[in-house]
Amino acid sequence: MENREPILEVTRLSKHFKLEKRAVYKAVDQVSFQIFKGETFGLVGQSGSGKSTTGRMMIRLYDATDGEVSFNGKVISGKLSKEERRHLNKKMQMIFQDPYASLDPRMTVMDIIAEGIDYHGLAANPSKRAEKVYALLETVGLNREHANRYPHEFSGGQRQRIGIARALAVEPEFMILDEPISALDVSIQAQVINLLKKMQRELNLTYLFIAHDLAMVKYISSRVGVMHKGRLVELAETKELYANPLHPYTKSLLSAIPVPDPLKERARKRITYDPSIHKYDVEQPVWAEVTPGHWVLCSERELAQYRSDLALVASQTSKKGEQSGKSKEQ
Ligand code: ADP
Ligand code: MG
Shared domain for 147 and 253, answered yes or no, is no
Shared domain for 178 and 301, answered yes or no, is no
Instruction: Among 221, 256, 271, identify where a domain stops.
Output: 221
**Best residue among 24, 26, 53, 232 to mutate for probing ligand 1, ranked by most atoms within 8 Å of CB:** 53
Give the ranges where the chain is alpha helix by DSSP (H): 51-58, 82-91, 109-119, 126-139, 156-168, 186-203, 214-220, 238-243, 248-255, 262-267, 300-329
Shared domain for 217 and 248, answered yes or no, is no
Q: How far apart are CA 248 and CA 226, in angstroms?
A: 11
Shared domain for 189 and 260, answered yes or no, is no
CA nearest ligand 1 atom 22, residue: 17
**pTM (whole model) above 0.85:** yes
238 is a domain residue: no
Give me the count of residues in the chain.
330
CA of 19, closest atom in ligand 1: 25
Q: How far apart are CA 287 and CA 226, in angstroms?
A: 13
57 is a domain residue: yes
CATH of the domain at 123: 3.40.50.300
147 is a domain residue: yes
Q: How far apart are CA 286 and CA 296, in angstroms?
A: 8
Listed in sequence order, the residues at least 6 apart from 140 whose beta carbon sits closer than 8 Å to its beta carbon are: 161, 162, 164, 165, 168, 195
94 is a domain residue: yes
229 is a domain residue: no
Is residue 203 within 8 Å of residue 76, measured between CB atoms? no
Q: How far does the centroid of ligand 2 lie from the alpha carbon of residue 214, in Å?
A: 15
CA nearest ligand 1 atom 23, residue: 17
CA of 47, closest atom in ligand 1: 4
Q: How far apart are CA 268 and CA 148, in angstroms?
A: 51
CA of 53, closest atom in ligand 1: 6
**Best residue among 13, 15, 16, 17 to mutate for probing ligand 1, ranked by most atoms within 8 Å of CB:** 17
CA nearest ligand 1 atom 15, residue: 48
Q: How far apart are CA 113 and CA 119, in angstroms?
A: 11
* pLDDT value of residue 236: 98
Shared domain for 265 and 144, answered yes or no, is no
CA of 15, closest atom in ligand 1: 12
Ligand 1: lining residues by beta carbon, under 6 Å: 17, 25, 27, 45, 47-53
CA of 45, closest atom in ligand 1: 3
Residue 124, SS3?
Answer: coil
Shared domain for 249 and 204, answered yes or no, is no
Shared domain for 128 and 216, answered yes or no, is yes
| For the CA of 178, the nearest ligand | 2
Residue 225, SS3?
Answer: strand
Tens of pLDDT, residue by residue, the chain (330 residues):
455 899 999 999 999 999 888 888 999 999 999 999 999 999 999 999 999 999 999 999 999 999 999 999 999 999 999 999 999 999 999 999 888 888 999 999 999 999 999 999 999 999 999 999 999 999 999 999 999 999 999 999 999 999 999 999 999 999 999 999 988 888 888 999 999 999 999 999 999 999 988 888 988 999 999 999 999 999 999 999 999 999 999 999 999 888 888 888 888 889 999 999 998 888 899 999 999 999 999 999 999 999 999 988 888 888 777 776 555 544
| For the CA of 94, the nearest ligand | 2
Largest CA distance in the chain: 75
Is residue 125 within 8 Å of residue 207, measured between CB atoms? no
Shared domain for 123 and 76, answered yes or no, is yes
Shared domain for 278 and 212, answered yes or no, is no
Shared domain for 10 and 68, answered yes or no, is yes
* pLDDT value of residue 330: 45
Q: How far does the centroid of ligand 1 lie from the alpha carbon of residue 50, in Å?
A: 6
Q: Which residues face 95 on adjacent strands?
A: 177
Shared domain for 196 and 253, answered yes or no, is no
Q: Which residues have their alpha-adjacent CB atom under 5 A from ion ligand 2?
A: 52
* pLDDT value of residue 185: 86
* pLDDT value of residue 3: 56
* pLDDT value of residue 313: 85
Q: How far does the centroid of ligand 1 lie from the alpha carbon of residue 24, in Å?
A: 12
Count up the domains in the chain and report the number: 2
Shared domain for 41 and 169, answered yes or no, is yes
233 is a domain residue: no
Could you tell me the residue range of the domain that residue 12 belongs to? 6-221
228 is a domain residue: no
231 is a domain residue: no
Q: How far does the centroid of ligand 1 lie from the alpha carbon of residue 277, in Å?
A: 26
CA nearest ligand 1 atom 7, residue: 52
Instruction: Among 154, 187, 221, identify where a domain stops.
Output: 221
Instruction: Among 189, 221, 253, identify where a domain stops.
Output: 221
Q: How far does the centroid of ligand 2 lie from the alpha carbon of residue 281, in Å?
A: 29
